[in-house]
Amino acid sequence: MRRWADHLASSLRAKREYLEDRKVMSKEMIVVEGGTPLSGEVEISGAKNSALKLVAASILGQGESIIHNVPLISDISVMSKVLEHLGASVTREGHTLVIDTEDVDTWKTPYELVSKMRASIAVLGPLLARFGRARVAMPGGCNLGARKIDMHMAGLEALGVHFETVHGDIEATTPNGLHGAYIALDFPSVGATENTMMAAVTAEGETVIENAAREPEIVDLADMLNAMGARVFGAGSSTITVEGVTLSSLHPCEHTTVGDRIEAGTFLMGGALMGGPVVARGIDPSFLRMALMKFGAMGCAVDIGDDWISVGRTRPLRAVEIQTLPHPGFPTDLQAQFMLLAAVAEGSSVITENVFENRFMFAAEIVRMGANVTIEDHHAVVEGVSRLQGTGVKATDLRCGAALVLAGVFAEGATQVHNIHHIDRGYEDYVGKLAALGARLRREPDDEFEE
């Protein structure tokens, strides 16, 4: 009874803290005064899409792991609270998280947190690997379409996991333990690859994941798992092999998160948009090969070093054709930013979205500013215009919000970007970093916030 009461108190505390966080975020908008050039250097934070999974993976360490280069964003705060609910201790020291998971003693996650952030489904794999069971709410996050977790479940079922729906939650059990398997994913899903890979770490025998996601964040996760004693091979290729080890052979580790390629691409797009040059430091240029090719195709000057990229422009932007695809193809997380670039380029651009069906919600907002965009199924035809006008717009997701702020930098007059809690989910000090590059913008109280 006492243990149940402790977990109830923890769940209520998590809900209260989450609502307080949302209350604070809901009060602000970003106001941008347009027409200022952007140039200079920006330090890129650790990758959001990697750090969230690294935090979840620390469950397997069963002790105090240290993760460096963790961005100061709201999604990390939510994931930290998920782990604290499970019994972990999470301490932040600047950009370093110290996570002690020795006392994690439950496999149930709080609905109030998990249902609001899609990445929280990443605890499913490590909980199964550690306890042989898990209960999680259906994941939330940006409204980008169905984003079903069917492939997560299919991969885990091949490892011996049984799923049931219990009061709206997903309950996973392993009646006969986890065992290695051959798994071929229908699509190279990042989340399905991560969850399957983490669960397979303690599965008996060998697991082979075919058509695995190849993103740099997958490699980063595999590197941390191996530092904890796992045996993961082939990360970064389409075939990942996991040789199962015993739970007792896993241990805590110290790891540094890779740079955020999407944050880097967003700021570099600012250099392309306003002339620049903008230099992004702390990023491996190989993470953005396709995006850099598109910058060049649009008439930008691109320079690279070991851990930096520079993008600038001295001539008009040219139209471009883009198709979003899993890595190493063009990233869907940069599609909105490049739609903005195409909106002010000379000629007609065509952007095809092959990953998330609702990524084009950005188009309706940029049209309010004077862009000429026509949506046809999963294609966007963008006719370039010479100017945009500032107005009130609403972020519909994380990347849409970041792109709208940059649209405000380009536009004539003032732009008010509402619902900026989306931006806070994935960009550390976005306003401060843009201001350091020359943008005129500020956060202000917002009475028009909408969920």
Predicted pLDDT at 136: 87
Classified by CATH at the fold level, domain 28-44+259-445 comes out as UDP-n-acetylglucosamine1-carboxyvinyl-transferase; Chain (3.65.10)
In terms of DSSP H, where are the helices of 205-288? 216-227, 261-274
- Encode pLDDT of 137-149 as tens digits: 765 444 433 446 7
Rounded CA-CA distance 434/437 in Å is 5
* Confidence check: pLDDT of 168 > 80: no
**Residues tagged in the binding site annotation for phosphoenolpyruvate:** 48-49
Domain with CATH 3.65.10.10 in the chain: 28-44+259-445, 48-256
Predicted pLDDT at 20: 44
- Encode pLDDT of 187-236 as tens digits: 999 999 999 999 999 999 999 999 999 999 999 999 999 999 999 999 99
Catalytic one of 142, 253, 300, 400: 142
Stated as kind and residue range, the H or E segment containing 421 is helix 421-426
Predicted pLDDT at 450: 58
Rounded CA-CA distance 226/239 in Å is 17
Predicted pLDDT at 46: 98
Ranking 47-61, 106-120, 257-271, 300-314 by mean pLDDT, the lowest is 106-120
Predicted pLDDT at 54: 98
Q: What is the CATH number of domain 48-256?
A: 3.65.10.10
Residue found by looking up tokens 């109030």 in the block: 112
Predicted pLDDT at 152: 85
- Encode pLDDT of 332-361 as tens digits: 999 999 999 999 999 999 999 998 766 788
Band (427; pLDDT cuts 50, 70, 90): very high
Give the strand pairing for 379-383 and 372-376: antiparallel
Rounded CA-CA distance 5/318 in Å is 62
Ranking 139-143, 280-284, 297-301, 379-383 by mean pLDDT, the lowest is 139-143
Answer yes or no: are the C-beta atoms of 135 and 171 closer than 8 Å.
yes
Answer yes or no: are the C-beta atoms of 200 and 35 closer than 8 Å.
no
Rounded CA-CA distance 295/301 in Å is 8
Rounded CA-CA distance 301/316 in Å is 12
SS (H, E, C) 47-77: CHHHHHHHHHHHHHHCCEEEEECCCCCHHHH
Per the annotation, the verdict on 400 as an active-site residue is no
pTM above 0.95, yes or no: no
Band (116; pLDDT cuts 50, 70, 90): low
**Residues tagged in the binding site annotation:** 48-49, 118, 333, 355
- Encode pLDDT of 395-408 as tens digits: 999 999 999 999 99
- Encode pLDDT of 9-64 as tens digits: 444 444 444 444 444 444 899 999 999 999 999 999 999 999 999 999 999 999 99
Answer yes or no: are the C-beta atoms of 405 and 382 closer than 8 Å.
no
Predicted pLDDT at 151: 84
Predicted pLDDT at 270: 97
Give every strand in the sheet of 392-394, ordered side by side: 392-394, 414-418, 28-33, 440-445
Answer yes or no: are the C-beta atoms of 415 and 370 closer than 8 Å.
no
